[in-house]
Amino acid sequence: MRRSQSRRSSPTSSFRKSRASATPTKAGAAFPTTFIHPADPRFREISRLFIEEQTRLFGTDHLYAADPFIEMTPASTDPAYLADFARAVYQGMTAADPEAVWVQQGWFFSFDPGFWKPEQGRAFVSAVPDEHLLFLDLYCENVEVWRRTEGFFGKPWLWSIVGCFGDTVTLQGGLPQIADRLPAAVASPEGSRLRGTGLLMEGLGYNPVVYDLMSDLSWQPRRLDLSAWLDDYTLRRYGRKDAHAQAAWRTLLATAYRAPARTGTTLEMRPDFALGWRFRGLPYDPAALAGAWPELLAAAPRLGDRDTYRFDLVNVSRQVLANYAGQVYSRMMAAYERKDRPEFLRLRDEYLQLFADLDELLATRREFLLGPWLADAERWAGSEPERRLYHYNARRLITIWGVEENPWDLNDYARKQWSGLLTDFYRPRWEMFLSALSRALDTGVAFDTSAYRRDIVALEEAWVRQDRSFPTAPRGDSVAVCRRLLRAYGSRVRRPEASSLTTGKPATCSHALPGHPPELANDGWFGDTQRFWSTDVTADPEAWWQVDLEKPTTVGRVVLVFYFGDRRTYGYTVETSRDGQSFELAYDGRDNEERATIAGADCRFAPRKARYLRVTLPRNSANTGRHLVEVMAYPE
């Protein structure tokens, strides 16, 4: 076995010796790798040798995973080419095991639906006998591929969920989607080929309720009352019935668990003005989720001796505080854009304090410690060089992941809100960024983006190469720490980012795109570019958004937060009206050339009485979309 893992010969050189057609390529996350084309005669031979050796070492259940086109596009749309490709992969398996069943993720049909038309899909699938191909419908709580592929064109399949990407530490999961869709799949005509269910998560740690529901429905796929099921779940989980715990879980169902989402918080993101594709915002109101915190803590007298309760209490408290950090970040960056140095410094201090408070909280539970992760990796080592290597890889995996030149930018993909990682890795990154912003405010010299990105990469690489351990045992009392933090933050976490005359008032518009209704532009959240009203001039040439203040109110200032994070600019107007019929121009920004920022466009005008405010958006320099993240109004 050691000889087969020799580091002296590369895969490419070995394939040349065997006269195989080896094609170096970059796919997926763009790490360089090499594929042998299935048309090469040695493909079948190498497949056979691999499976035979694997079987010798581990035995076989006759199930073999192979995903030739996962997050990449085939070289040809020719159905014959795709059929030959599938046939070669299958024959490579049966050369070693005539009973082989090819297990394949169906994700590629969803990843590139423009390529995988029915003709291409049928050709690829039909090349393999029915009972020798099993599709995993990977991410059914979000996208059910079986519905787009005629139930994977007649082949057996599994209804599966991902639940979690990168084992990130976040409360999330689509409980209603699981409860509705799995029974519907079983009852559908395509359900005749449904062979079971799958849990295909990239980590198990932080949302056990998702896997409890999925496992329950796997045994009994039935329509159920999710609220009643959740009450039963809390009883099973804690061993006692408690009204406060049930109320907390009803809040969690209405917020964090109402829909699947790949969310993150600002704390564990690489600091920047725009936090990248991993920061997708929250599909719920974080102030609403915060209501679960005092309810769950109120159950401590009855449930405080239950380990499951203490885990959930820490997990919910963590999420509430991490969400609040995002609000502080939004206000802090808006203060920076306004060049309000005192406010920026005040918010900077509050933001950095959250790292210390969260670290203290997470240190009370082993599940939220960095130390066990590193220690577990080291335990596999058979020598000191191996120990150092495994320690290094364990650090890299949960932080920068790959290489800086990777165009997919996968740093922080497997981010973790863990004690030790928060204060030793994430906080120093933010301190570097915020110090650079502070210097820019002090000196008036523009923020040096190139220098900052060079420095942050160096800081990250230096941390990954450190070789020191962290505590592996928890310390402190979870309930006591949560009580202290609730006293410190309880009133703050229940408030929206920005309260103004418009917050929560009735909003209308000329047109809205699906998922972007007008009320998202006055919900009190200005820092989340996933929550905005949107339309498009192709559907609505003269787009407008309007709010009813419900009575004549003095208005002399309106702040418009557009979609921000790039260099785009918007043209706009603000109009006022007493009756909703006759509008008067209050501010004309049609010629605006200032880029959109989190601080928004500050529109000041002579105060006047108005019941209605209307915003029009005649121009967006980036595309044909029209977007309002938040509209705030003040008397002056």
What pLDDT is stored for residue 277 in this prediction? 52
**pLDDT at residue number 114:** 93
Cα separation, 440 vs 388, in Å, equals: 40
Region of poorest pLDDT, from 4-13, 63-72, 91-100, 360-369: 4-13
Rounded CA-CA distance 379/387 in Å is 8
pLDDT for res 405: 57
| CA quadruple 577, 582, 584, 590: dihedral sign | positive
pLDDT of residue 11 exceeding 50: no
pLDDT category, 278, cuts 50, 70, 90? low
Query: 398 and 377 in contact (C-beta within 8 Å)?
Result: no
Residue 17 reports pLDDT greater than 80: no
For the stretch 284-305, pLDDT in tens is 889 999 999 999 999 999 999 9
Q: What is the pLDDT of residues 304-343, one digit of tens each?
A: 999 999 999 999 999 999 999 999 999 999 999 999 999 9
The residue written with tokens 């191996």 in the block is 386
Mean predicted confidence (pLDDT) in 570-595:
97
Domains of the chain (ranges; CATH) run 3-240 (3.20.20.80), 266-493 (1.20.120.670), 507-634 (2.60.120.260)
Q: Does 270 have pLDDT greater than 60?
A: yes
What share of the chain in percent tops pLDDT 70? 93
Cα torsion angle, 148, 149, 155, 158, sign: negative
When pLDDT is cut at 50, 70 and 90, the band that residue 27 belongs to is low
Residue 576 and residue 610 in contact, taking contact as beta carbons nearer than 8 Å? yes
Look at residue 496 in the predicted model and tell me its pLDDT. Answer: 75
Q: How far apart are CA 132 and CA 101, in angstroms?
A: 4
The pTM score is 0.88
Does residue 3 surpass a pLDDT of 90? no
User: Taking Cα atoms as reference points, which of 403, 411, 324, 314 lies closest to residue 359?
Assistant: 314
Which residue's entry shows tokens 């010629």? 591
DSSP state of 419: B
Q: How far apart are CA 414 and CA 398, in angstroms?
A: 5
Residue 97 token pair: 């095991």
Mean pLDDT of the chain: 91
Given a cut of 70, whether residue 558 has pLDDT beyond it is: yes
Q: Are 401 and 457 in contact (CB under 8 A)?
A: no
- Running DSSP on this structure, what letter comes out for residue 569? B
Q: What are phi and psi of 523, to 5 degrees?
A: -95, 0
pLDDT in tens, 229-242: 999 999 999 999 99
CA distances, 443 to each of 335, 387, 447 (Å) = 16, 46, 10
Over the stretch 343-391, which tens digit does the pLDDT of each residue have?
999 999 999 999 999 999 999 999 999 999 999 999 999 999 999 999 9
Select the more confidently predicted residue: 203 or 402. 203
Over range 168-185, report the average pLDDT: 95
Residue 540 contacts residue 561 (beta carbons within 8 Å): no
